Amino acid sequence: MKPGTKRVSKRWRSGLGWGVLALVGLAMLAWAVSGMRGPSSVRRVALAQLSPPPPLAGRNAFQTLWQLPYAIPEQARAAVFAEDVRRWKALAAAPPTGDEAPTLRPASIAEGRYPPSLGEEDRARFCPKGSGCLAAVEADPAGHAELVARHAALLDRIEALSGDAGIRDPFGYPAAMPLPELQYGHLPLTRYALAFVQGRRDEALDGTCTAIVTWRRLGADSDTLIERLVAAAAVRATYASFFVEMLARLPRDWPLPASCAAAFAPPTDREFTLCDAARGEFQYRRAKLAWQARRDRAAGARAADKLPADADPALAEAAMPLARLCSPALERRIRADLPPLGDEGLSGLLRLECVSNPRACLLGGMVDATYDYPEQIQDTHARLRFVALLLRLRADVSDPRPIFERLQAQHAAFGSDQRSLRRIDDGRALCLENYRTTPTACWDVPLPPYFATPESTAPEPVRPEPGRPDSAATSP
């Protein structure tokens, strides 16, 4: 090798060595600065926003929902629930074991002690949602009458939720989230469809509107996102959809029960926010992270567990997506019915605070609270406001314009100009756009004949005599 070549090679190796040392030094500096800095100011603010949700001002629906799957005698319900509360609270305080957060299976001591309140075969016979329920009951009114009668006690318990104020966890927000049984909420729908088919229209209308009021209130004052969203789905996809199907079969002058005015009243302030649901959700996340930290300190066997996972940084990471649901800007967009903006916060591991705490960023970031939750709430509000406007136009017989033109003229009454409305089915129905495009991109609203065709040619349904079955209720 030539002498000049040796000198170049030596300088290159020397430069490489100094470069490696510089990189190591920068990494150590970043680690130290990251450790001293801790969570960013944005994340500390997010953490401060997520205090526990406020207590209920009224009766808690949790026990009723929790016990719906079991045929527990009425006199034993309180004692069974008290035992469940003791077991779950003991679980939350138990020392960590194993690799996963502890759970209770069965969820309630009622499992195996009492028979199920509803078998799978019967459960499948109840209407799963509002659209199409009338047609299903009309196809087999006798079978549905027997089904409803056999499960009258269960339906009564679900309807008794109308006296409850909201939903709160009574178990102390343990790491294993104990969810009440929310999927039973649609069952009374079949009872109301049967009442309508049998000619008891006022009963069907009142039951449906009371259910809308109930699930609006329970959802607005719930403490988890799943409760909030399931309640909203019950309102829009179950009972509001069923209401417009009944409305399409009613004469224009048929008076509605007072409960329907409450059902389609403007959303309250609590209905415009998901903050309390996010706060409750965060309490479970806090318990899960605390359990993981206790487990790591107790065992620390796996290599992955040896990465730092300090509680505060992980909590701050978990707080970010949930705190966005408490944002005043998001609430304003929900009120204005504007599609929420995308996630504008920093995410991933390429951030200074993750240098000294990569596992905290990984653990804390495992929360997706920005998916389409606001859109689901907005779609629910849009449907309620749309039906309210439809009812006002139903009562106003002085305007001869087509219903689509009248609705478009008051578009702001049910949604922003970014939410479209169009005619479908040759003008016999309308399609109100959903912001959440699954399972469907729009809500189909069947129109009564007096709206779907010119007033002079629209056939008016015949109002039945009191106490007699309504044959018009079975017409398409």
Domain boundaries defined on the chain: 62-274+374-474
Cα dihedral 201, 205, 210, 216 in deg (nearest 10): 160
Question: By C-alpha distance, which of 414, 423, 460 is closest to 445?
Answer: 423
Residue 338's CB is within 10 A of a number of other CB atoms, namely 17
Q: What pLDDT is attached to residue 18?
A: 57
Q: Are 77 and 351 in contact (CB under 8 A)?
A: no
Q: Which residue in the block uniquely carries the two structure tokens 């689509």?
A: 404
Q: Which two tokens stand for residue 55?
A: 């207590």
Residue 273: predicted pLDDT: 96
> How wide is the angle at C-alpha 200 spanned by C-alphas 185 and 154, nearest 5°?
30
Of 157, 187, 161, the C-alpha closest to 70 is 157
Report the half-sphere exposure of 391 (CA within 13 A, side-chain side): 21
Token pair listed for 468 = 């007699």
Q: Is 212 helix (H, G, I), strand (E, B) or coil?
A: helix
CA neighbor of 172 nearest in space, from 319, 52, 47: 52
Helices 225-233 and 275-298 meet at what angle, rounded to 10? 140
For residue 431, count other CB atoms closer than 10 A to its CB.
Answer: 17
pLDDT at 371: 72
**CA 33 – CA 446 distance, rounded (Å):** 62
Using CA atoms, how far apart are residues 397 and 253, in angstroms rounded to an integer? 10
Q: Which residues of 345-374 are buried (b: 16+ CB within 10 A; e: fewer)?
A: eeeeeeeebbbbbbbbbbbbbebebbeebb
Backbone angles phi and psi of 430, in degrees to 5: -120, 155
Q: What is the DSSP string of 215-262?
A: HHHHHHT-SSHHHHHHHHHIIIIIIIHHHHHHHTTS-TTPPPPHHHHH
Look at the alpha carbons of 137, 138, 139, 143 in this order and tell me if their dihedral is positive or negative: positive
Helices (H), 94-140: 120-125, 133-139
Nearest to 446 by CA among 302, 248, 280: 248
Peptide bond into 96 cis (omega under 30): no
pLDDT by 10s per residue, the chain, length 476: 555 555 556 665 555 555 556 555 554 544 444 444 455 666 777 888 899 999 999 999 999 999 999 999 999 999 999 999 999 988 777 766 655 566 666 689 999 999 999 999 999 999 999 999 999 999 999 999 999 999 999 999 999 999 999 999 999 999 888 989 999 999 999 999 999 999 999 999 999 999 999 999 999 999 999 999 999 999 999 999 999 999 999 999 999 999 999 999 999 999 999 999 999 999 999 888 888 777 766 665 443 444 334 456 778 888 888 999 999 999 999 999 998 776 544 444 444 455 445 544 444 454 454 478 999 999 999 999 999 999 999 999 999 999 999 999 999 999 999 999 999 999 999 999 999 988 889 999 999 999 986 443 444 443 443 443 343 333 33
| 230 φ/ψ angles, rounded to the nearest 5 degrees | -65, -40
**For the chain, what's the residue count?**
476
> What span, in angstroms and rounded, lies between the C-alpha atoms of 164 and 93?
29
pLDDT of residue 68: 97
What DSSP state is assigned to residue 352?
G
Between the alpha carbon of residue 179 and those of residues 88, 108, 259, 263, 356, the distances in Å are: 12, 11, 29, 26, 35
